[in-house]
Chains A and B, each alone.
Chain A
Amino acid sequence: MNSLEKAEHPAGLKRIAIEPVSRVEGHGKVTILLDAENRVHQVRLHIVEFRGFERFIQGRPYWEVPVMVQRLCGICPVSHHLAASKALDQVVGARRITPTAEKLRRLMHYGQILQSHALHFYHLSSPDLLFGFDAPVAIRNVVGVLQAYPEAAKRGVMLRKFGQEVIRITAGKRVHGTGSVPGGVNKCITPEERDLLVAGLPDVLRWADEGIALVAQLHGAHREAWDRFGTVRSNLLSIVRRDGALDLYDGVIRARDADGHILVDGIEPTAYGDLIRENVRSWSYMKFPYLQSLGAEHGWYKVGPLARLQNCDFIPTPRAEAARQAFAATAGGQIVHAPLAFHWARMIELLHSAEVIAELLDDPDLLKNDLMASGPRATTGVGIIEAPRGTLIHHYEVDAQDLVTQCNLIVSTTHNNQAMNEAIREVAREYLDGREITEGLLNHIEVAIRAYDPCLSCATHALGKMPLVVELLDATGALVDRRVRDAEQLA
């Protein structure tokens, strides 16, 4: 089968550009090359953003980094905040931070996972899943969900609110706080703050259960379509706890092949550079990571909830573990590669996050004031964390004057670059090939992208209304047809 990455004879083909698809803290576009019979010859997801954080963090003092780099994202700033802090713990010699600091960071992180997963599923993706990919755009949005499924919509809002409260209490602000610093944290929580969160837990746990039930129900109702839509086999990568348990805050790197066989395991974060290489292609600002041992062609992988749930051996909280086993049972023990299964995995992780938050809030260490650790200085720090969308790697070099000299960030969207490209190619083969372009078709492509990364769904801007411009040009580049969605903004 044609890979659809590069057309053999691009001259003379029609080009469709979906631009902007939307953004991952920036914008992406999809280009499709078609022949006269609308047969697909090339499909690419281009990330056209250029953020530049790796460059402009150079020359800044290291203690500024956890606060500065979190500005990469408005949805998961906590992930960047903590990944940077973990890396810089090593620079300040805090090989082990205090129990209070680690538990507060974990609380912050699982609050972030919970709110981000709720945002993605209920606000961004549920309109597609509840109404159908081809449903009229007038109802296929979060307002439509509010009207047709008020309980589900309310659940999403309230879950997100709870997660944001966890972040506010631990980081000082709901978005872009300052709670974590190299070597520890800058505050503990008060008994009043703890009690406030504890009071919300029963509802949160119930809502989390209901979210899993909803996804399972949707899967059951459209099983064949869900399992096939945009499905591409690949390796899986994530960090896991040293005993193989799911751990989203800390652990060692593990990768499995598409059939579930472990490729590498127990890799320390500091050795990520030996494990992962990044490929550059001329048509995208986003690199293409792969496992060095397998090479660029076969070494690419998925990260994120679907990878994590199948990469770990078990989930160390009972309700989420039962849900994981039920999820795995539907696939008969086979590895699931369907993009839409990300939603199911995401809801299981949401429940797991709620359970972890409950455990942490019951821990008296959270109220203690032993916040900071230090030790012999180092010049290198690598921090890896499982962000809501996948494995996030921060690597810094710091000189003797405390200034950052080098920075390498591999974010989850980057890890999933090849997988997202392959998914939309699969969708294009299935739904676009030889057919007339419709708004619903465009949404199919977006649905596949959204499953991987809600930042591409314009999460902080045009919520639920991806602005899209599709232009049909002839071989000379002349405009033949143009369709605009969200016309008021873009026309």
Chain B
Amino acid sequence: MTFTLDGHDIPFEPGQTVVQAALAAGHYIPHLCYHPEFQPHGSCKVCTCTVNGRTATSCTTPASEGLEVASETPEIQEIRRDLVQFLFTEGNHFCPSCEQSGDCMLQAVGYELGVVTGHYNPLFPNRPVDASHPDVLLDTNRCILCELCVRASAQIDGKSIFALSGRGITKHLIVNAESGRLGDTQLATTDKALDVCPVGAILRKRTGFRVPIGRRTYDARPISQVTVEPAK
């Protein structure tokens, strides 16, 4: 069983989505909220492709025989660039001083898509840092609302510590404590939720910048290569 992605035949197993089959076959489709260990979410829209002529998120589109998927077209790449620029300008992303720089998926996808500026007017939202947990820093300035921490905490850690609240532009990450402070939750340093944040919103304290430039995830190779050939 195969479908085509930009003219390439992509084999797939029943139940796989387009992005899963594409990545398994060594073809990168940019994405942020998709994570192989969790149910597809379809919220960031960065994996949008043209599927049989209609735009669709490839992480939620089941692979099926004969699908014609277009990913690296100028039109689709432009949509992705816009989406990533929206994310950069809706939050406070200061890459030069961010400890996740070089390991950040948002930054890496930005580079992959040729994003050189935020383009849109930055909103500069006021989002205080929550440092109340002794070992974990929550900096929602960088949160892109991918809900990976929400899913990891609920599905793997069984704690449901994180959730999204509000709607539209007011949507934001909250934690499950009456005080609203991370330090009053049951978050433990062994929780899966700490390791899935694609940006620098949930961080282990006192470890920033310990990995030197040159050895960070995306220093040597772009995310398109790292994702499909992680072992290299």
Minimal beta-carbon separation of B220 from chain A (angstroms): 13
Inter-chain contacts of B137 with A (CB < 8 A): 61, 402
Cβ contact within 8 Å between A402 and B206 = yes
Q: Could you tell me the distance in whole angstroms from the C-beta of B137 to the nearest C-beta in chain A?
A: 6
A402:B205 contact, CB within 8 angstroms: yes
Decide: B210 and A181 in contact? CB cutoff 8 A: yes
Write the chain A residue with the least CB distance to B214: A172
Report whether A59 and B96 are in contact in the complex, using a CB–CB cutoff of 8 Å.
Answer: no
**Quick one: given A63-B99, A64-B97, A176-B96, are A186 and B209 in contact (CB under 8 Å)?**
yes
The interface residues of chain B lying within 8 Å CB-to-CB of A186 are 209-212
Q: Which listed residue, A68, A71, A401, touches B132 by the CB 8 Å rule?
A: A401
B128 within 8 A of A: yes
Answer whether residue B131 sits at the interface, using C-beta atoms and an 8 A cutoff.
Answer: yes
Tell me, in angstroms, the Cα distance from A150 to B191 when the chains sit together: 62
Contact check, B99 vs A59: say whether CB atoms are below 8 A apart.
Answer: no
Contacts A61-B129, A401-B131, A401-B132 given; does A172 touch B213 at CB 8 Å? yes
Query: Is A173's CB within 8 Å of the partner chain B?
Result: yes
Q: Is the CB of A68 within 8 A of B97?
A: yes
* Chain B positions within 8 Å of A123 at CB level: none
CB of A178 closer than 8 Å to a CB of B:
yes
Proximity string of chain B (198-227) to chain A, C-beta cutoff 8 Å, 1 when within and 0 when not: 000000011111111110000000000000
CB-CB under 8 A from B96, the residues of chain A are 67-68, 71, 176
* A402 and B131 in contact, given A63-B206, A64-B99, A67-B97 (Cβ under 8 angstroms): yes
Which residue, of B207, B211, B212, has the highest number of chain A Cβ atoms within 10 A? B212
Q: Is A177 an interface residue (CB 8 A)?
A: yes
Cβ-defined contact, B209 with A67, below 8 A: yes
Q: Name the residue of chain B whose CB is nearest to the CB of A401.
A: B131
CA distance A59 to B206 in the complex (A): 15
**Count of chain B residues with Cβ under 8 Å from any Cβ of A?**
19
Q: Chain B: which residue is nearest A69 at the CB level?
A: B97
Per-position 1/0 for A162-200, Cβ under 8 A of B? 000000000111001111010000110000000000000
Within the complex, the shortest CB–CB distance from B139 to chain A, in Å, comes to 8
A contact patch SS = loop
Chain A contacts for B131, CB-based, 8 A: 61, 401-403
A60 at the interface (CB under 8 A from B): yes
A68 to B208, CA, bound (A): 12
List, in ascending order, chain A residues with CB within 8 A of B210's CB.
181, 186
Please indicate the chain A residues that have their CB under 8 angstroms from the CB of B209 in the complex: 63, 66-67, 178, 181, 186
Nearest to A92 among chain B residues (CB) is B206
CB pair A59 B97 closer than 8 Å: no
Q: Which residues of chain A are within 8 angstroms of B213 by Cβ–Cβ distance?
A: 171-173, 177-178
Q: With a CB–CB cut-off of 8 A, which chain B residues contact A68?
A: 96-97
CA distance A403 to B131 in the complex (A): 7
Question: What is the CA–CA distance of A403 and B205 in the complex, to the nearest angstrom?
Answer: 11
Q: Name the B residues within 8 Å of A171 (CB-CB).
A: 213
Q: State A193–B15 Cα separation when bound (angstroms).
A: 51
Residues of A within 8 A of B211 (CB): 186
A71 and B97 contact, Cβ closer than 8 Å, known pairs A59-B129, A172-B214, A402-B137 = yes
Which residue of chain A has its CB nearest to the CB of B203?
A61
Q: Is the CB of B208 within 8 A of A64?
A: yes
- Whether the Cβ atoms of A61 and B205 lie closer than 8 Å is yes
CA A60 to CA B97, docked complex, whole Å: 10
Residue of A nearest to B97 (CB): A68
| Complex-state Cα separation, A43 to B213, whole angstroms | 47
Complex interface bits, A49-86 against B, C-beta within 8 A gives 1, otherwise 0: 00000000001110110111001000000000000000
Candidates B99, B129, B208, B214; contact of A403 at CB < 8 Å: B129
Closest chain B CB from A192 CB (angstroms): 13
Pick from A59, A64, A176, A187 the residue with the most CB of B within 10 Å. A64
A67 and B100 alpha carbons, distance in the complex (Å): 12
A4 and B96 alpha carbons, distance in the complex (Å): 43
* Closest residue of A by beta carbon distance from B133: A401
Question: CA separation between A66 and B128, bound complex, in Å?
Answer: 21
Of A68, A173, A402, A403, most buried by chain B (CB within 10 Å of CB) is A402
Cα–Cα distance between A186 and B215 once the two chains are bound (Å)? 11
Closest to A180 in B: B209
**Contact A59 B128, beta carbon cutoff 8 Å:** yes
- Residues on A with beta carbons closer than 8 Å to the beta carbon of B207: 63
Residues of B within 8 A of A (CB): 96-99, 128-129, 131-132, 137, 205-214
Can you list 9 pairs linking A and B with CB atoms under 8 Å apart?
A: A60-B129, A61-B137, A64-B99, A68-B96, A71-B96, A71-B97, A177-B213, A186-B209, A401-B132
A64-B99, A179-B212, A181-B209 known, 20 other contacts, Cβ within 8 Å: A59-B128, A61-B131, A63-B205, A63-B208, A63-B209, A64-B98, A67-B99, A68-B97, A92-B206, A177-B213, A178-B209, A181-B208, A181-B210, A186-B209, A401-B131, A401-B132, A402-B205, A402-B206, A403-B129, A403-B131
The 4 tightest CB contacts between A and B, nearest first, are A172-B213, A68-B97, A401-B131, A187-B212
